[in-house]
Amino acid sequence: MSRYSAAEIEPKWQQAWDEAGVFRAERMPGKPKYYVLEMFPYPSGRIHIGHVRNYTMGDVVARYKRATGHNVLHPMGFDAFGMPAENAAMANGGHPRDWTYSNIDTMVGQMKPLGFSLDWTRMFATCDPEYYGQQQALFLDFLEKGLVYRKNAVVNWDPVDMTVLANEQVEDGRGWRSGALVERRELTQWFFKISDMSEELLDALDTLDDWPAKVKTMQANWIGKSRGLQFSFGLTDTSHGYDRVEVYTTRPDTLMGASFVGISPDHPLARELERHDPRVAEFCKQARQGGTTEEAIEKAEKLGYDTGLTVRHPFDTAWELPVFIANFILMDYGTGAIFGCPGHDERDHEFARKYGLPIIDTFLPVEGEHDIQKEPFVPPKTEKVRFTRLVAGEKIQTGNEAIDATIDFCEANGVGQGVTKFRLRDWGLSRQRYWGCPIPVVHCDDCGVVPEKKENLPIRLPYDEGDKPIDFSIPGNPLDRHPTWRDTPCPSCGKPAKRETDTMDTFVDSSWYFARFTAPRAETPTVMEDAEYWMNVDQYIGGIEHAILHLLYSRFFARAMHICGHLPEASKEPFDALFTQGMVTHAIYQTQKDGRPVYHYPEDVELKDGKGFLEDGTEVEIIPSAKMSKSKNNVVDPVQIIADYGADTARWFVLSDSPPERDVEWTAAGAEAAAKHLGRVYRLASDLTDGEAETDEADEHLMREMHKTVHDVTLGIDSFGFNAAIAKLYGFTNTIAKSRAGSVARRMAIKTLAQLMSPMTPHLAEEIWQMLGGEGLISQAPWPKADPAMLVEDTVTMPIQVNGKRRGEIEVPKDLDPAEVEKRALANEGVQRTLDGAQPRKVIVVPGRIVNVVM
């Protein structure tokens, strides 16, 4: 009898798979293909236990699909451009490229021992010139089709470092390094015209049947289709060169409750006033302070500046409203101007009270009271309300009805028009940074903005500054100050010109990598034959944090690539099924020192009766289920887990316990238990001896359980119920261990158990398969099938409730007549006791399920 040693068997089987080329994906017409993809990692330097969980789920699907006769594509790559590489270079010297490739090497080295069934020959990193060169080609194609354009947009500007900051580099409205108050500043930037596809991206969500509903809801809300009224307020004083202010509102029914007009500090009228009035300029400067995020703007104190200008109300020309410049209105949204109705909007209410503006109701609750001066009345638009100041429609109607009526009325009377708008803005892709894909255009004094010629691609990032290394510790974009890289002849006229120094948002890189995997070495972005064969991604797996941006951008890219002939029509929605998995969490162990928390590593904490102690006996506070974070010392390193227990244990554990879409808590005890269980399965197989007492009845029972397990586990894997499948496998293992069946039946049961476990614990499964004389590799064996005849039970246990409370149960033949079930249920001892002679008023029999007696 040998002992289970993961360290011995895992490398052995990985080598066997490698040699047999089991996971290499090649087109095989005639065999159904299956493309399973996990969101590729950022090369931070170490794999994280969350990666292990993500890729294990994908691997289970890949291995299962292979066993059910599919030709599987399961690739891996790296999302390798981005800020951390530059930050590392800034902090520790070195070069982003060296840092990134070295990290990739390390991470591949950490991933391979996990035994994922990946086709490593297709691997690439988005920072490979072979990849980003094709991305530049895509950009040029998009440009030609009018899918890319330039316009102004606001960025976070650090006035001390004189550089653009990412949102995460803005802390409490200040630059992370300089500490200077950040300003919103306009810059000319490149944009993808995603807004042109708003309607289509919204409508097509309905076709994504195998996406989580919550993701579709989030995307729909993000796209934000709304119908509203666009109209103008006439200015009473036209001396500043403007005669009106154009506004857009989704609540035209509150028009009679307007009490001010607000414009953005970047509105042309505000800009005009700013030029002539230092007080306005001062206010606008202040209003532009703070970050660009919606969150920062929403949470900032609402400030306004009364311009002294007034406008006329469109339905009462005697009614004049003041015009304010307000810090919470962005030029990017709508027309950059709004009208405020404090009676029916939280934000406007706050603003009105601050600046002493009137609060007027236009509708009130149908019943009851509401003090509009105290707080705004903001019911759902579907609720009926009583209008007090009506533009159009009935006195009592819903908000939606009133909005429609108002738009009709306004259009009929020449006051503006109904407009459908989308919240979705165009995708700004310019980044003023080095470590990204260079935007392949040239700025020529004579020809303007000229696309680079395709034969000159890739436009490579310069590694150094010619005679000296790039100094990343200087704020700003090294491409911008590079002595020679910018210089290039104009592709159009040949005269000396300058390259664009902005690089692309890293979301661009991850918006088409799934397509590139179908032909990763091609000289064009994709190869139609390969794309047609492998696309779409049948199962995409990743974190919920990507629910909106990454997935929406990818959907846009797939459409844009189709327009340019890089993807087939059928791939406009590139991900057939989506699964969003939860995080792996771990307890934080902390003590207090001088009022500050001190975090302790798990290996320094001894657990006893649910309490934790340090070596010196100090008790530590345990904060369960916390997100893993380096600064909290609660990160679990998969490499250590593999060294301690082996890959199969790590894989088994991350799938067990928690449903995949939920967070899972990593505990040392849990990992220990997983390892023990795998050892037990191994022992069951290696202890299997011939010549035990053979009893037909026990054989029959074991075979029935086996078929049930095959059925349940198959269903579990099909529906991403990995934790449930594992619970069944635990149960079946117990059944085998206790079974008195003969060795033939037991051998069959354990071989089947190995097959059912093989997607989760492939190395152990191969070992057992070989031990029990299975043919070839288990990785290439067909998936077991459950015999339907073995699944049906003759009798069923039915619980009996009285008034919804369980009082007993009866064992009845499966198809017993409901009237007979009722009779037997009423005769039940527990029911009789509870009824205590009373007559039941009603008896509900749900065949095969439950009986409820109502008294």
Name residues contacting RNA, limited to 79-138 (CB under 7 A): 79, 81-84
Provide the minimum distance between the beta carbon of 28 and RNA in the complex, in angstroms, as a whole number.
33
Provide the minimum distance between the beta carbon of 609 and RNA in the complex, in angstroms, as a whole number.
6
3-class state of residue 521 by DSSP: coil
- The interface region with RNA, picked from 131-139, 175-183, 742-750, 805-813 by CB under 7 A, is 805-813
For residue 536, is the peptide bond before it cis, meaning its omega torsion is within 30 degrees of 0? yes
Q: Which of 180, 527, 548, 623 binds RNA (CB under 7 A)?
A: 548
Q: Structure tokens of 229?
A: 């009224």
Name residues contacting RNA, limited to 444-503 (CB under 7 A): none
Name residues contacting RNA, limited to 525-544 (CB under 7 A): 544
Q: Structure tokens of 377?
A: 């009345």
Q: Structure tokens of 358?
A: 């009137």
Asked if 378 and 404 touch (Cβ cutoff 8 Å), the reply is no
CA distance 828 to 808: 7
Query: Half-sphere exposure of 396 toward its Cβ, with a 13 Å CA cutoff?
Result: 4
Per-residue x/- mask for RNA, residues 21 to 60, rule CB under 7 A? Answer: ---------------------x------------------
Provide the minimum distance between the beta carbon of 782 and RNA in the complex, in angstroms, as a whole number.
27
Answer yes or no whether residue 156 interacts with RNA by CB under 7 A.
yes
Answer yes or no whether residue 672 interacts with RNA by CB under 7 A.
yes
Nearer to RNA, 393 or 716 (CB): 716
CA distance 328 to 299: 9
Nearer to RNA, 291 or 393 (CB): 291
Name residues contacting RNA, limited to 642-671 (CB under 7 A): 656-659, 662-665, 667, 669-670
Asked if 248 and 230 touch (Cβ cutoff 8 Å), the reply is yes
Provide the minimum distance between the beta carbon of 709 and RNA in the complex, in angstroms, as a whole number.
12
Asked if 844 and 799 touch (Cβ cutoff 8 Å), the reply is no
CA distance 764 to 753: 11
Interface with RNA (CB under 7 A), residue total: 101
Long-range contact list for 840-845, CB < 8 A, 24+ apart?
Answer: 845/818, 845/821
Name residues contacting RNA, limited to 168-197 (CB under 7 A): 168, 187, 189
Nearer to RNA, 424 or 781 (CB): 424
Asked if 453 and 415 touch (Cβ cutoff 8 Å), the reply is no
Nearer to RNA, 204 or 527 (CB): 204
Q: Which amino acid is at 535?
A: M
Provide the minimum distance between the beta carbon of 641 and RNA in the complex, in angstroms, as a whole number.
16
Provide the minimum distance between the beta carbon of 502 and RNA in the complex, in angstroms, as a whole number.
8
Provide the minimum distance between the beta carbon of 546 and RNA in the complex, in angstroms, as a whole number.
6
Nearer to RNA, 547 or 713 (CB): 547
CA distance 573 to 557: 10
Q: Structure tokens of 535?
A: 């696309």
Query: Half-sphere exposure of 581 toward its Cβ, with a 13 Å CA cutoff?
Result: 28
Provide the minimum distance between the beta carbon of 731 and RNA in the complex, in angstroms, as a whole number.
5
Nearer to RNA, 406 or 667 (CB): 667
- The interface region with RNA, picked from 383-391, 444-452, 631-639, 826-834 by CB under 7 A, is 826-834
Q: Which of 467, 569, 609, 615 binds RNA (CB under 7 A)?
A: 609
Cα 591 from chain centre: 34
Q: Residue 209: exposed, middle, or buried by beta-carbon count in 10 A (0-12, 13-18, 19+)?
A: exposed
Answer yes or no whether residue 412 interacts with RNA by CB under 7 A.
no
Backbone angles phi, psi at 409, to 5 degrees: -65, -45
Q: Residue 367: exposed, middle, or buried by beta-carbon count in 10 A (0-12, 13-18, 19+)?
A: exposed
Q: Which of 8, 98, 105, 294 binds RNA (CB under 7 A)?
A: 294
Name residues contacting RNA, limited to 564-603 (CB under 7 A): 583
Q: What is the CA radius of gyration of the chain?
A: 33
Nearer to RNA, 276 or 842 (CB): 842
Provide the minimum distance between the beta carbon of 647 and RNA in the complex, in angstroms, as a whole number.
19
Provide the minimum distance between the beta carbon of 587 and RNA in the complex, in angstroms, as a whole number.
9
Provide the minimum distance between the beta carbon of 658 and RNA in the complex, in angstroms, as a whole number.
4
Provide the minimum distance between the beta carbon of 674 and RNA in the complex, in angstroms, as a whole number.
7
Q: Residue 105: exposed, middle, or buried by beta-carbon count in 10 A (0-12, 13-18, 19+)?
A: exposed
CA distance 552 to 22: 34
Q: Which of 150, 354, 676, 785 binds RNA (CB under 7 A)?
A: 676
Q: Which of 507, 512, 540, 682 binds RNA (CB under 7 A)?
A: 507
| CA angle, 20 then 74 then 651, to 5° | 85
- Report in angstroms the alpha-carbon separations of 253 from 235, 362, 390: 22, 8, 7
Q: Which of 90, 549, 623, 698 binds RNA (CB under 7 A)?
A: 549
Name residues contacting RNA, limited to 257-286 (CB under 7 A): none
Nearer to RNA, 413 or 629 (CB): 629
- The interface region with RNA, picked from 128-136, 273-281, 588-596, 846-854 by CB under 7 A, is 846-854
Provide the minimum distance between the beta carbon of 849 and RNA in the complex, in angstroms, as a whole number.
4
Q: Which of 45, 476, 568, 830 binds RNA (CB under 7 A)?
A: 830
Q: What is the 3-state secondary structure (H, E, C) of 703-759?
A: HHHHHHHHHHHHHHHHCCCHHHHHHHHHHHHHHHHHCCCCHHHHHHHHHHHHHHHCC
Answer yes or no whether residue 300 interacts with RNA by CB under 7 A.
no
Supply the DSSP string of 657-668, one letter for each residue. Answer: SS-TTS-EE--H
Asked if 27 and 535 touch (Cβ cutoff 8 Å), the reply is no
Nearer to RNA, 166 or 447 (CB): 166
β-strand pairing of 244-249 with 487-489 = unpaired
Nearer to RNA, 72 or 547 (CB): 547
Q: Which of 797, 836, 838, 839 binds RNA (CB under 7 A)?
A: 797
Name residues contacting RNA, limited to 213-242 (CB under 7 A): 213-214, 217-218, 221-222, 224
Asked if 193 and 371 touch (Cβ cutoff 8 Å), the reply is no
Nearer to RNA, 50 or 257 (CB): 50
The arrangement of strands across the sheet holding 363-365 comes to 363-365, 384-387, 396-398
Q: Is 498 annotated as a binding residue?
A: no
Name residues contacting RNA, limited to 417-446 (CB under 7 A): 423-425, 427-428, 430-432
Q: Per DSSP, what are the bridge partners of residue 329?
A: none
Nearer to RNA, 267 or 728 (CB): 728
CA distance 650 to 53: 9
Q: Which of 356, 610, 773, 788 binds RNA (CB under 7 A)?
A: 610
Q: What is the 3-state secondary structure (H, E, C) of 379-436?
A: CCCCCEEEECCCCCCCCEEEHHHHHHHHHHHHHHCCCCEEEEEECCCCEECEECCCCC
Nearer to RNA, 17 or 682 (CB): 682
Name residues contacting RNA, limited to 678-737 (CB under 7 A): 679-680, 721, 723-724, 726-727, 730-731, 734, 737
Answer yes or no whether residue 10 interacts with RNA by CB under 7 A.
no
- The interface region with RNA, picked from 102-110, 404-412, 761-769, 838-846 by CB under 7 A, is 838-846
Provide the minimum distance between the beta carbon of 561 and RNA in the complex, in angstroms, as a whole number.
20
Of 198, 252, 191, the residue nearest 222 (C-alpha): 198
Q: Which of 152, 625, 640, 795 binds RNA (CB under 7 A)?
A: 625
CA distance 513 to 132: 10
Question: Which residue ranges make up the annotated binding site for ATP?
Answer: 630
Question: Which residue ranges make up the annotated binding site?
Answer: 630
